[in-house]
Structure 1
Amino acid sequence: MAPSISTIHSSPLNILDFVVNKGHGVKGLSDLGIKTLPYQYIQPSQERFDHTTNEEFNKDSIPVIDLSKWDDPKVTKAVCDAAEKWGFFQIINHGVPMHVLENVKDATHNFYELPAEEKLKYSKEQSVTNSVRFGTSFTPEVEKALEWKDYLSLFFVSDDEAASLWPPVCRNQALEYIKSSETVVKKLLKILMNGLNVKEIDKTKESILMGSKRINLNYYPKCPNPELTVGVGRHSDVSTLTILLQDDIGGLYVRNIDSMKWVHVPPVNGSLVINVGDALQIMSNGKYESVEHRVIANGNDNRISVPIFVNPRPSDVIGPLAEVIESGEKPIYKNVLYSDYVKHFFRKAHDGKATVDFAKV
């Protein structure tokens, strides 16, 4: 039986117990109909999003690139320019079927409609594998203020493992989305590597660029005081590339590299949002830049998003690619074991671009 709203507000232990230990997540809080935000979610003033000061910048946004002629020089230039100047872009006519995108969105909603005790089977404490993790916020044990988000994170090892361990309600749809996006990922990486004078992606480079994949099913419930909290705090991804599917609610904001202002990424029907991750910034020696992004909380609607994180393998060592520095360019980053880099990211709360300093020379 869920506790009453008054009981939840009376004790910080009850909040964490209800949200984390009992598996209700912030969706459970929202479903209770709470009228005010629990103090555990109130962010410091500097981390809150001021819509009034950012409204004038919403007229601008990241590039939208049509990939129907992906080998056209104008298209390849647009992709490389976006990776350098924005770190983010949207793609349309990318070849991933619309029904695949709609199915995985529906499957995300279906997972979060499961009873709390069902979702709890996939929590850190109860999951039979580290490859499957249901949780809330980012790293609750080290965060001073929690984020208003629940997630299911699925690390792809093999079809057989997914078939036996991923939640049945979303397994097939998540796998189909991963597999359907592989062709466009390879096309984008080919374009971006050509921009670094890497003319061929052999098996070794393919492993370092896209040797592992993780898909997250993210849920951002309606929030009673969205101005006081965040869906996701400021961060850059640790991936090579991230391929994000948004619903039509919106709420993703990107830090413009030049102006440092926050720019909204409006949902475009059928599009995928692509962003450069830290691993690609390191491998490109800073030519392609991972940028800060965040998700605001919403007071009117429930929002979902489904990112695929395309990563090196945990056992890979990443550093500036040989082709990038062979002309004498000074390395900005050292070689680091990718699993060490990822562990450093998850040891702390979201803190903008601070993680990449771990790899600096």
Structure 2
Amino acid sequence: MGSIEQPEPTVKIPIIDVSGYLAGDPKATAACAAELREACENQGFLQVIGHSVSEATQKKFLDAISRFFALPTEEKEKLSQSNSPCYRGYEKIGGQKLDELDTNATTDQKEGFSIRPERPLGKFLAGPNQWPEESVVPGFKEAYMEYFWAVHSLSKAMFQLMALSLGLDRTYFDAFAADPDGICLCRAHHYPPTPPDAAGRTRGVGAHTDFGALTLLLQDTVGGLEVLHKRTGTWHSVLPVEGAYVCNIGDLMQRWTNNRYRSTMHRVISPLSHTDRYSCAFFNDGALDMMIEALPGCVPEGEKPAYEPLKVEKHIVERYVQSYGAGGTYIEQRA
């Protein structure tokens, strides 16, 4: 593995309090939309506080996933993604490689557990979830699904704020973000401590941009998330804010906004530590049949869009095949 450079001193990631917006205050809504616009046009990363996901829901969920990841490997492997035709369930350490900058990078040093909305097996990523037996991890499914729908609701609200930030009708993204047949992904992560005898910090997740449109990340207080500062090309730590959601835009939103809002390269680097790190990313990738093309007002007069229209399914399949294939995990492409 190549050496991992130390991050620069922390840059300020905007922190936006959305409580007034969620309460329907017009003045607060306009201010939040302006703050979101500035964050997306500059860094593409922000932290959201004053949101609608309760502390109790977050803590119950983090407790449940920590109990699951503490299980013996053979118990977790019973729920391996390899057993699921729609790629739900347990992901072993090293099963994915997201690093887009270093071809010699190691695979991601994290393990995960993924769910999506429950539905019959169908198109790519659609299908049923896998769950541990109640006797093995009591309350796991209940805590996970309670958390899933709470963050799903916040995600829909953030898409409405995103629309306002772009000068669009508040409901512009509703068909994408709230589609009952959408492919929202809620993936919990566990990053084991880097052993003291390691050569240095390890890649929990390699440098990458997110596949979809908008991500909401809950992280504990351990730290390790870093973002690439666009103007200087340097890495900077994102200091954890307890209970906050790190919000960032993904590749689909970059295409949608014709590069007005750009997805940001980020990574997780695990310092030498005796502490386990836990996080959960909620990706609202919308409906597979949705076509992504430049939004009104995002193409300067007299110019052509930077991208051709793209179907969500084509984009998501290609990114899954690439990232999991790099980690030696085969992804089947169903018609």
Query: Normalising to structure 2: TM-score of the pair?
Result: 0.80
Matched, 1:313 2:264: no
Are positions 1:295 and 2:265 aligned together? no
Distance 1:195 1:329 in 2: 22
* 1:66 positional shift: 1.2
The 1:141–1:75 alpha-carbon spacing in structure 2 relative to 1, beyond 3 Å, is: closer
Query: Are the counterparts in 2 of residues 65 and 92 from structure 1 also a CA contact under 8 Å?
Result: yes
How far the C-alpha of 1:287 sits from its partner, in A, is: 1.2
What's the CA shift string for 1:164-209, capped at 9, x where partnerless? 733353322221112112333222212211232321425xx42334
Instruction: Judge conservation of contact 1:232–1:296 (CA < 8 Å) in 2.
Output: yes
Residue of structure 1 in register with 2:333 after alignment: none
Equivalence for 2:2: 44
Look up the match of 2:146: 176
Asked if the contact 1:61–1:263 (Cα under 8 Å) also holds between the matched residues in 2, the reply is: no
2:217 pairs, out of 214, 223, 244, with: 244
The equivalent of 1:258 in structure 2 is 231
2:201, 2:272 within 8 Å by CA — same for their partners in 1? no
Instruction: State the distance in 2 between where 1:154 and 1:182 align.
Output: 12
| Cα distance change of structure 1 residues 123 and 90 upon mapping to structure 2, 3 Å threshold | same
- Aligned residue runs from structure 1 range 147-158, under 5 A: 147-158=108-119
User: Could you say which structure has the larger radius of gyration?
Assistant: 1
Partner of residue 107, structure 2: 146
- 8 A Cα contact 1:137 1:147, kept in partner: yes
> Is 1:165 matched up with 2:130?
yes
Residue correspondence of structure 1 range 79-158 to structure 2 within 5 A: 79-127=36-84, 129-139=86-96, 145-158=106-119
Q: CA deviation at 1:322?
A: 4.3
Structure 1 range deviating more: 254-263 or 84-93: 254-263
User: What is the distance in 1 between the residues matched to 2:218 and 2:54?
Assistant: 12
One of 185, 188, 194 as aligned partner of 2:158: 188
Q: Deviation digits for residues 227-273 of structure 1, max 9, x if unmatched?
A: 25311100010121111000010000011122222111111112111
Match of 2:123 in 1: none
SS at match of 2:148: helix
Equivalence for 2:332:
none
Establish whether residue 335 from structure 1 lines up as the match of residue 309 from structure 2: yes
Compared CA separation, residues 109 and 260, structure 1 to 2 (3 A): same
What stretches of structure 2 of length at least 5 have no aligned partner? 121-125, 325-335
Deviations 1:6-35 (A, max 9, x none): xxxxxxxxxxxxxxxxxxxxxxxxxxxxxx
Q: Contact 1:212–1:313 (CA<8 Å) still a contact in 2?
A: yes
1:234·1:292 contact (CA, 8 Å) conserved in 2? Answer: yes
What is the letter of the counterpart of residue 191 of structure 2?
Answer: Y
Match of 1:271 in 2: 244
Aligned residues: 299
How big is the alpha-carbon RMSD for the aligned residues of Structure 1 and Structure 2? 2.8
In 2, distance between residues paired with 1:310 and 1:155? Answer: 10
Q: Greater share of helix residues, 1 or 2?
A: 1
Task: Name 1:220's counterpart in structure 2.
Answer: 191
Residues 195 and 226 from structure 1, CA distance in 2 versus in 1: closer, same or farther, beyond 3 angstroms?
Answer: farther
Mapped contact 2:226–2:266 kept (Cα < 8 A): yes
**1: CA distance, partners of 2:296 / 2:230:** 26
Task: Tell me the residue number matched to 1:14.
Answer: none
Relative to structure 1, the CA distance from residue 328 to residue 98 in structure 2 (aligned partners, 3 Å threshold; closer, same or farther) is: farther
Secondary structure of the equivalent of 2:184? strand
Structure 1, unaligned runs of 5 or more = 1-42, 351-361
d(CA) in 1 for partners of 2:313 and 2:129? 25
Q: How much identity, in percent, do the aligned residues show?
A: 28
Shift of 1:332: 0.9
Cα 1:65/1:131, change in 2 over 3 Å? same
CA distance 1:194–1:111, shift in 2 (3 Å): same
Contact 2:98–2:323 (Cα < 8 Å) also in 1: no
Distance 1:130 1:230 in 2: 23
Letter matched to residue 294 of structure 2: P
**After superposition, what is the alpha-carbon deviation per residue over 1:292-316, rounded to whole angstroms, capped at 9, x for unaligned?**
0000013211101111111122232
**Partners of 1:208 and 1:312 within 8 A in 2:** yes
| Distance of 1:164 and 1:241 partners within structure 2 | 22
Distance (whole Å) between structure 2 residues aligned to residue 111 and residue 78 of structure 1: 38
AA in 2 matched with 1:333: Y
